[in-house]
Amino acid sequence: MENEEEIVELEKEILECISQRKVQKLRQLFEEYPIIDIAEALDNVENIADLLFVFRVVSSDYTAELFVELTDAQQENLIAAFGDKQLIELVKNSYADDIADYLEDMPANLVSRVLKAADPQLRADVNQLLNYKENTAGSIMTTEYLSFNKNETVESTIEKIRENGRDAETILTIFVRDNSRNLVGTVNLDDLVFAKKEQILSEIMDIDFVTVSVNTDQEEVAHLFKRYDLNVMAVVNATGKICGIITVDDVVDVMSQEAAEDIANLSNVSNIEDPYLETPVLKLVLKCAPWIIALMILQVFSSLILSNFQGEINKFAILSVFTPLITDSAGNSGGQTTGLMIRSIGLDEFHRGDWKKVIWKEFRVACTVALVVSIFAFGWLMLEMSTGIVQCRLSDYPSLNVSNDTVLHLLVALLVSVTLAVSIILSKTFGVILCWFSTKIKKDPAVMAEPLVTTLVDVTSLLTYFLIWSFVIGPFLGI
């Protein structure tokens, strides 16, 4: 579903069930609709008695799932309001990674309430997960998985899954360890189900499995899932022992986070962890203002150049009309190159040795774009000046060494379009080289390359513009 009208309808029904305390109907809605839709319908329920009613009457399989999807405020209020028995019930039905996720943002007294309600094993798991650094494999893995000795038979494995499987986050893949508890293979549930009962796991297991360490960056984890089309992956420690698993649904979340991070970086916003509407105004200001200020400081170089050529502008004010056109076009061209590179890096298109080809290719692209754009610009500027959109009249500059307006227009259009050509080639070349360099030093090009390209490009394009003016066009015009 996730159809606007259906959600509105569901919201109405649920709120009615709650306000009129209709137990049967409410239970039925929990069976019929995905939990996330129900959570969204409950988004604006702030009365804690209403939420408690839901948690009391609906089966705890559903409510544990629901709890994860509620807003932070709702979660905190519920934990504070739950009786001990309810809390134990909730924790018992939750996965360790989910508990760790919502504890991360809670006040200490509520955290200790939740941990007290967990049994020792679960508490140890949650504590361990809370200690992994953010954005690593450790922080997104879960500790509820199934692993068996490689000499176990298919029959006894199935029997054990039947007994214990319900606590695992996935039983679709089981992990096989040797006698020293190192991970040596994986078995998919379907292979297990269709194997002969007396076979042992080492006969049917796959050995070309992929693992990561607890400290691997989550972006790398997502990359491996994509590359190897995985549904689940083991996280191992330094000695090769399995300490958790990551399932593909967690990776789907990581991927949207990482894409969001790239977009924020490209737009010069520092990374935001919380949803926009839950982030306070001042925090948003802190993510935005420093970048604007930093970019303003970097502009000191352009100001320096413009200030040094004030004399030229004084003599021929029309020059200042075209500076934004030149710096913007060059900046946009450089931005296209860094965008293309960031895109390809994200799609994992470039491997060892490819960069030389990439730089050469982008250089050829740059030359062609420069040619096309500057030819267009020449015509466009002639049009702007001849129609008077941009006023460039010989009568305003009586001392000039040319015979009529058209010659003047031709020279100005030539100046601007040659500058554009040079700037576009430089900006695209800078762009690709800076992206190569930032991957080389293992920095994110979206953070580093963009502002640097803009600054470099502003400086070089303004310099080109005023130098061509001062040494070629200006003297020719007799200025």
| DSSP-derived secondary structure letter, 153 | B
Half-sphere exposure of 68 (CA within 13 A, CB side): 17
Q: Among residue numbers 344 through 383, which ones bind a second copy (CB under 8 A)? A: 344, 346-347, 349-352, 354, 357-358, 361, 364-365, 368-369, 372-373, 376-377, 380
Residues 6+ apart with CB under 8 A from 46: 73, 74
**Phi (first) and psi of residue 248, to 5 degrees:** -65, -25
Q: Considering only the stretches 53-61, 236-244, 323-331, 469-477, report the one whose residues sit in contact with a second copy under the rule CB under 8 A.
A: 323-331
**Site membership for a second copy, residue 228 (CB under 8 A):** yes
When the beta carbons of 201 and 255 are compared against a second copy, the nearer one is: 255
- Single residue of 229, 238, 404, 440 touching a second copy by CB under 8 A: 229
- Single residue of 328, 443, 476, 478 touching a second copy by CB under 8 A: 328
Q: Binding string to a second copy for residues 173 to 212, with x set by CB under 8 A, is what?
A: ----------------xx--xx------------xx-x--
Q: Which amino acid is at 72?
A: D
The CB-of-196 to a second copy minimum distance in angstroms stands at 12
Task: Give the chain's end-to-end CA distance (angstroms, integer).
Answer: 71
- Single residue of 295, 382, 394, 433 touching a second copy by CB under 8 A: 295
The CB-of-193 to a second copy minimum distance in angstroms stands at 6
Instruction: Find, among 188, 244, 173, the residue nearest to 211 by Cα.
Output: 244
Residue with tokens 């999807």: 69
- Single residue of 116, 121, 317, 476 touching a second copy by CB under 8 A: 317
Q: Binding string to a second copy for residues 101 to 140, with x set by CB under 8 A, is what?
A: ----------------------------------------
When the beta carbons of 120 and 353 are compared against a second copy, the nearer one is: 353
* Under 8 Å between Cβ of 439 and 341: no
Residues 332-350 as b/e (b if ≥16 CB within 10 A, e otherwise) read ebbbbbbbbbbeebbeeeb
**Site membership for a second copy, residue 323 (CB under 8 A):** yes
Residues 234-267 as b/e (b if ≥16 CB within 10 A, e otherwise) read bbbeeebebbbbbbeebbeebbebbeebbebbbe
Q: Considering only the stretches 135-143, 148-156, 300-308, 465-473, report the one whose residues sit in contact with a second copy under the rule CB under 8 A.
A: 300-308
Within 218-329, strands assigned E span 232-236, 242-247
Beta strands at 183-188 and 211-213: parallel, antiparallel or unpaired = unpaired
Q: Considering only the stretches 112-120, 125-133, 144-152, 244-252, report the one whose residues sit in contact with a second copy under the rule CB under 8 A.
A: 244-252
**Site membership for a second copy, residue 394 (CB under 8 A):** no
The CB-of-110 to a second copy minimum distance in angstroms stands at 25
- Single residue of 23, 48, 80, 293 touching a second copy by CB under 8 A: 293
Q: Among residue numbers 52 through 71, which ones bind a second copy (CB under 8 A)? A: none
**Site membership for a second copy, residue 479 (CB under 8 A):** no
* Under 8 Å between Cβ of 316 and 397: yes
Task: Starting at the earlier edge strand, list the strands of the sheet with 173-177.
Answer: 147-149, 173-177, 183-188
Q: Which amino acid is at 291?
A: W
Q: What is the rounded CA–CA span in Å between residue 477 and residue 473?
A: 6
**Site membership for a second copy, residue 478 (CB under 8 A):** no
When the beta carbons of 77 and 417 are compared against a second copy, the nearer one is: 417
* Under 8 Å between Cβ of 427 and 332: no
